[in-house]
Amino acid sequence: MRPFRQPLVAATLALSLAACGPQETSQPAVSAPVEDTRTPAQREAERTPYALDAAFARAGQDFGVPADLLKAIAHAETRFEMIQGHEEFPGMPAASGLMALRGENLVEGARLAGVSVEQARTEPEANIRAAAALLASWAQAEGIAREDVGAWAPVVVRLSGISNPEAQAQYVHRNVYGVMREGVVAQTPAGDVAVSLMPSQVQAKFASPSVRAQAAGPDYAAAIWRESLNYNARPTGAGGGVQVVVIHTCESSYASCWSWLVNKDSGVSAHYVVNESGSEISQLVTEASRGWHVGATYVSSLNGDQMTHLEGTSVNNFAVGIEHGGSASQTSFPAGQIEASAKLTCDITKDNAVPRDAYHIVGHGKLQPYNRTDPGANWPWAQYIARVKEICGDPLIVDSDNAFNDAARASFTVPSTWTGSSGTAGYYGSGYFFGNTASGATDPAVFSFYSATAGTKTIDAWWTQGTNRSAAAPFEFVNAAGTLVKTVKANQQTGGGVWNTLGTFTVTVGWNKVRLSRNTTTGYVVMADAIRVR
């Protein structure tokens, strides 16, 4: 059984272990809604630590759908998150709730369940009941034996909306029935059990995936090549080539995502799709070709005024797009997915000489903010980019904006006596801090970095230059024991917009520091922007 800890949007609901397993009782007809007759007080009283599992059980009982099947679909679609999805691809409506109901399925399911569309969209139990009612109505129409869990596979596929036969088979056998065979327990952040699905030997009565050799991706051998015809040639010259990597969420499951992107009628594509666990990646378009994944022209002001030469041109001209199974509204992303994606992004940036920073590895919503939000507020940007750099063997950079730092390895602190700015061009990251020099000042800006081993490191500093900068800015290296090892005085009137070597120092295990002091000749400023540890 696969345990995992998953933050749940409606974590007041969790599970009843006694309700696990298929429901095999006789069921009411689904031609009329089956209403939840409990009063609000009764519903509130049943919000125990086990209520979400009980909600699956009630829906299964009321509509004659195996409760474990409902749980497995919720896991395949949302990992038990109560998502409020967004449109990612034209023609694919946004998904809502634990069961990822879309469009007409949401409307019809709500009608059959006797709940409003808004309830089915926003309330966990109403969403489960809408999906159960819809599945039950289809099962009744097709004459499915309710107690035969494997026979439900065709209506499971219908609910998913997947039309590609290979993706259908993958979704059914691996994602839905696969998790029923393995079992899964979901926990809240506090460690309480939220959903329990016990392992079973159930087998889907559905065509198995075709047995054939799957070619490796032409640019990334760890990927499976599933060619999309939705691409064209990149422009030549400075406006073409690969210059950024764009991070997306599919707003759907992995199988649904790649199958839609290889459908020639969808009119969209991405270069890669990473599945929810990180165990599989599909490559759909070669990196040399222009995929169709961002519906916007480039606006440099949305991206830190970087790459102004691309202003007003289609982002697709110069971007590689990576889709991820999941939703922009989810509260976290699986560690395996982040790791697999970071390895892929490292490979793309290495092959195409793309800088590994927050301006060249960007979110879809950042470049197309008027109608896209993916990959969402909870994509771990600092950790992700730090991991990409680590995989690629890049030096550690400590930025003056902690949004760009991996908190486990790097941090920056600055007293209120310093001023943040981005007024001088040539800064690193999103800006810098400056402090007025003052004799005897004891309030340095501090760049901290963690070293797991003792040894020597070369440290470089980045600043913007100017005539009002100090010619003797004091950079103090302090090891993890708190010992001041050396002070280096740097001339910040020159060397702007590049890395300047401060020296090579002996680091100790733990948090080492580079402090930039204001204690130097008065009448100037010192600039705290970024350091690099190599």
CA atoms of 500 and 288, how far apart (whole Å): 35
Q: Is the pLDDT of residue 406 over 80?
A: yes
> Do 397 and 430 touch, CB atoms closer than 8 A?
no
- pLDDT for position 2: 52
In angstroms, what CA-CA distances link 71 with 76, 152, 161?
Answer: 9, 14, 18
Q: Is the pLDDT of residue 27 over 80?
A: no
Residue 402: burial class (beta carbons within 10 Å; 0-12, 13-18, 19+): middle
- Residue 88's nearest CA partner among 232, 236, 246 is 246
Q: Is the pLDDT of residue 65 over 80?
A: yes
Which H or E run includes 511?
strand 510-516
For the segment 57-70, the average pLDDT, to the nearest whole number, is 96
CA atoms of 305 and 294, how far apart (whole Å): 19
- pLDDT for position 322: 98
CA atoms of 435 and 414, how far apart (whole Å): 10
- pLDDT for position 87: 84
Q: Looking at residue 98, what DSSP letter applies?
A: T
- pLDDT for position 522: 96
CA atoms of 14 and 11, how far apart (whole Å): 7
CA atoms of 488 and 217, how far apart (whole Å): 49
Q: Is the pLDDT of residue 147 over 80?
A: yes
CA atoms of 19 and 445, how far apart (whole Å): 57
Which carries the bigger pLDDT value, residue 448 or residue 184?
448
pLDDT tens digit sequence for 35-58: 556 565 555 444 433 468 889 999
Q: Tell me how crowded residue 25 is: count the other CB atoms within 10 A of its CB.
A: 9
- pLDDT for position 36: 58
Q: Is the pLDDT of residue 78 over 70?
A: yes
CA atoms of 10 and 52, how far apart (whole Å): 9
The pTM of this model reads 0.82
- pLDDT for position 194: 77
- Residue 532's nearest CA partner among 388, 379, 429, 414 is 429
pLDDT tens digit sequence for 518-528: 999 999 999 99
CA atoms of 507 and 396, how far apart (whole Å): 14
Sheet-wide strand order for 83-84: 83-84, 95-97, 101-102
Name the one residue in this structure whose structure tokens are 């949302």: 78
Which carries the bigger pLDDT value, residue 17 or residue 43?
43
Confidence of residue 23 (pLDDT cuts 50, 70, 90): very low
3-class state of residue 58 by DSSP: helix
For the segment 406-421, the average pLDDT, to the nearest whole number, is 95
pLDDT tens digit sequence for 342-358: 999 999 999 999 999 99
CA atoms of 24 and 375, how far apart (whole Å): 41
- pLDDT for position 44: 45
Confidence of residue 448 (pLDDT cuts 50, 70, 90): very high
- pLDDT for position 6: 45
CA atoms of 223 and 221, how far apart (whole Å): 5
For the segment 71-85, the average pLDDT, to the nearest whole number, is 93
Return the structure tokens found at 88.
Answer: 């990612």
For the segment 192-209, the average pLDDT, to the nearest whole number, is 88
For the segment 380-386, the average pLDDT, to the nearest whole number, is 92
Residues 6+ apart with CB under 8 A from 365: 328, 372, 373, 374, 375, 376
Share above pLDDT 90 across residues of the chain, in percent, rounded to a whole number = 81
For the segment 192-204, the average pLDDT, to the nearest whole number, is 88
> Do 328 and 376 touch, CB atoms closer than 8 A?
yes
Confidence of residue 118 (pLDDT cuts 50, 70, 90): very high
- What are the phi and psi torsion angles at 102 (to 5°)? -130, 150
Name the one residue in this structure whose structure tokens are 């000489």: 353
DSSP H stretches of helix in 292-398: 335-352, 364-367, 381-392
CA atoms of 31 and 34, how far apart (whole Å): 9
Considering only 27-41, 282-296, 463-477, which range has the smallest mean pLDDT?
A: 27-41
